[in-house]
């Protein structure tokens, strides 16, 4: 995902959200904003290694719109991590743009790696 020139990565394990992302990729959805519980550490497998936080892979949902209090750049979340983790508890970057999908589900992972989305969007 990219937001105002800053990148962050999400890892999704929730089957419903995986389908939402595939729908976005195929142009069947406009829900491009990741919305998830924010946790400390870069995540299992260090998937968000640039930052010392990540979104809970099971909790993430895709939204078309969200509330402003959860919106911020990744660097602002980093600098105010205690506030985001302890008070806000969720991250929903309004202007995030998905960059690509890496499908690691077995056995599909062999045939689908980084795939662009329709309508000029890509999902991650």
Closest CA to 1 of 68, 97, 106: 97
pLDDT in tens, 49-64: 899 999 999 999 998 8
Grade residue 91 by pLDDT with cuts at 50, 70 and 90.
Answer: very high
Q: What's this model's pTM, rounded to 2 decimal places?
A: 0.78
Mean of the per-residue pLDDT values of the chain:
82
**Given a cut of 60, is residue 30 above it in pLDDT?**
yes
Average pLDDT score over residue span 72-93: 94
């Amino acid at each position: 995902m990219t937001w105002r020139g800053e990148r962050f990565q999400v890892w999704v394990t929730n089957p419903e959200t995986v389908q939402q992302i595939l729908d976005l990729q195929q142009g069947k959805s406009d829900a491009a904003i990741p919305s998830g519980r924010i946790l400390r550490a870069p995540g299992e497998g260090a998937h968000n290694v640039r930052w010392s936080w990540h979104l809970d892979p099971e909790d993430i949902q895709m939204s078309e719109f969200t509330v402003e209090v959860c919106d911020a750049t990744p660097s602002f979340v980093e600098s105010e991590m205690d506030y985001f983790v302890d008070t806000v508890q969720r991250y929903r970057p309004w202007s995030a743009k998905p960059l690509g999908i890496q499908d690691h589900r077995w056995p599909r992972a062999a045939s689908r790696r980084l795939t662009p989305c329709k309508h000029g969007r890509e999902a991650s």
